[in-house]
Amino acid sequence: MSIPKFCCLAVALALVPLAPASAGRMLDEGKLDTSWYGDDREFRKADEIDYLWVQPGFSLAGKKVHFAEWMEPQLLGEKAGERDAKDKRLAANLTGDMPEIFAEAFRNGLAGTVTVVKSGGDVKVVGRIVDCTEGSAAAKFWVGMGAGSGNTTFDMKFIDVKSGELVAAIHHRVVSGSNLSTTDSKFIKWVDEFADRLAKKSLGQLYDAGKRAKD
């Protein structure tokens, strides 16, 4: 006697592995794993920020901010397998410098608005690099038009120290397309400009003015 078709279908479906409930979406060509931020968020494209999410009502104004050590780089995306030893070394070096790069920029650009502290505080900021490449200086010089561009792509979380809740999230790629700039120098320049931008508009204002980010 043959087994009914619906029984075969039920057995087949039972053998298909199910994705974990906590699995997030992969955006930005696989470099943005939304599960790293916890529950899925509605990211928006903001002023000079590729992907931004901010909890309604959150503001850095008057807060004590602690820039904690970043996690080890976790290269993601379609080109992760193309990154060589130099790229991985650059990612590791930048990771160690990240807390102080952001701390110095916030001390200079947000003096009187935000207080940077070495521990504790109201808001803890952590991050990780998810893609990094030095690019090609020769291609930048001889070809131009964006050829040989270096870049650093990173994730960053702002966490309320008291509640442990995520209050803001950033995913962004900084590109060094000129032969006059390097991947790390371009990144430092972006961080300085980011702090200066926050002195004029809050994260919440940037988010509210943004548009829904593309997948």
For residue 94, being part of any structural domain is answered with yes
Tally Cβ neighbours within 10 Å of residue 70: 21
Report the alpha-carbon distance of residue 43 to residue 193 in Å, rounded. Answer: 21
Is the pLDDT assigned to residue 207 strictly greater than 60? yes
Look at the pTM and tell me if it is higher than 0.95: no
H helix or E strand, kind and range, residue 201: none
Report the alpha-carbon distance of residue 173 to residue 33 in Å, rounded. Answer: 14
* 207 touches 46 (CB < 8 A): yes
For residue 114, being part of any structural domain is answered with yes
For residue 16, being part of any structural domain is answered with no
Looking at the chain, the whole-number percentage of residues with pLDDT higher than 70 is 79
Higher-confidence residue of 179 and 88: namely: 88
Could you give the C-alpha distances from 86 to 82, 83, 160, 180, in angstroms and in order? Answer: 11, 8, 35, 19
For residue 84, being part of any structural domain is answered with yes
Total domains present in the chain: 1
Report the alpha-carbon distance of residue 110 to residue 198 in Å, rounded. Answer: 7
50-105 pLDDT, tens digit each: 999 999 999 999 999 999 999 999 999 888 888 889 889 989 999 999 999 999 99
H helix or E strand, kind and range, residue 88: helix 85-109
Residue type, 181: S
Mean local confidence (pLDDT), 149-164 = 93
CATH number of the domain that residue 183 is part of: 3.40.50
For residue 176, being part of any structural domain is answered with yes
Nearest C-alpha neighbor of 51 from the set 131, 167, 171, 204: 171
Expressed as residue numbers, the domain containing 35 is 24-212
For residue 6, being part of any structural domain is answered with no
* 178 touches 25 (CB < 8 A): no
100-133 pLDDT, tens digit each: 999 999 999 999 999 999 999 999 999 999 998 8
For residue 5, being part of any structural domain is answered with no
Length of the chain: 215
Structure-block tokens of residue 117: 């502290």
For residue 9, being part of any structural domain is answered with no
